[in-house]
Structure 1
């Protein structure tokens, strides 16, 4: 087998495995919290990480259309996990912020997610886990 075919097969395998990973992540999202979709959980996580965000920033970060973000934000608001505050820099905008309950739910979901990952990597060598972390970070940066 030539090098080109090997690389093509490797890229095909990576694509297939990342797709399987994404499907598993979507399925696990409801296990982490039955009321949160993976998108809603990701939005809540980003808002917590950045200590508040505009809905347009969320849409841009996740490459989502505004209507999708609006639906997910609405669901998070109805659950009492997010609230809107007037943006002091531009009073026409609203900054999305996590409520205390949203912070609590996110912490619990993060704990469960971390446990699931720790279990998945339990029999991997530390060097392999470190290498995979580096490769995923590199891939997501676009290097």
Structure 2
């Protein structure tokens, strides 16, 4: 296990990631905030989603999710349709326009990263990808989970 000081330094380095994220957000089209790109990316990855599931995946409040969805819907990047299973709910789906925007965002992000990391080896980039994926997975395991129903007690009869 790493020393506590290493976790403190990791915390500082992760805090500095915000600077990198803000830098990357500058390459986005003017009317596409980073959260819109995240919404579209999740819809592309998971397909149709209810607003509640999107909020859960983004780890943000429903009211905040609703604002992000409204922004993307107003621009035609996603559509909202009634859920046939629950007429009170809406299903969200990325549109072809949203997919085109997402491709543009991905290309811009990749170009920006390639420019900043031009002196990194392919192995270093691959190592960073692997470590970040592992970090993300580790945090996913740390999220609070909904309580699971208890399994029925198993009774054994004496043999």
Asked if Structure 1 and Structure 2 have the same fold, meaning a TM-score greater than 0.5 normalized by the shorter chain, the answer is yes
RMSD of aligned alpha carbons: 2.0
* Structure 1 residue ranges without an equivalent (≥5): none
Residue aligning to 1:99: 95
Correspondence 1:50-89 to 2 at 5 A? 50-89=46-85
Number of aligned residues:
139
* Structure 2 residue ranges without an equivalent (≥5): 142-159
Residue aligning to 1:140: 136
The structure number with the bigger radius of gyration is 2
Of the candidates 115, 121, 125, which is equivalent to residue 125 of structure 1? 121
Residue aligning to 2:5: 9
Structure 1 residues 73, 117: CA separation in 2 closer, same or farther (over 3 Å shift)?
Answer: same
Q: Is 1:90 the counterpart of 2:86 in the alignment?
A: yes
Higher helix residue share:
1
- TM score, norm. by length of structure 2: 0.77
- TM score, norm. by length of structure 1: 0.85
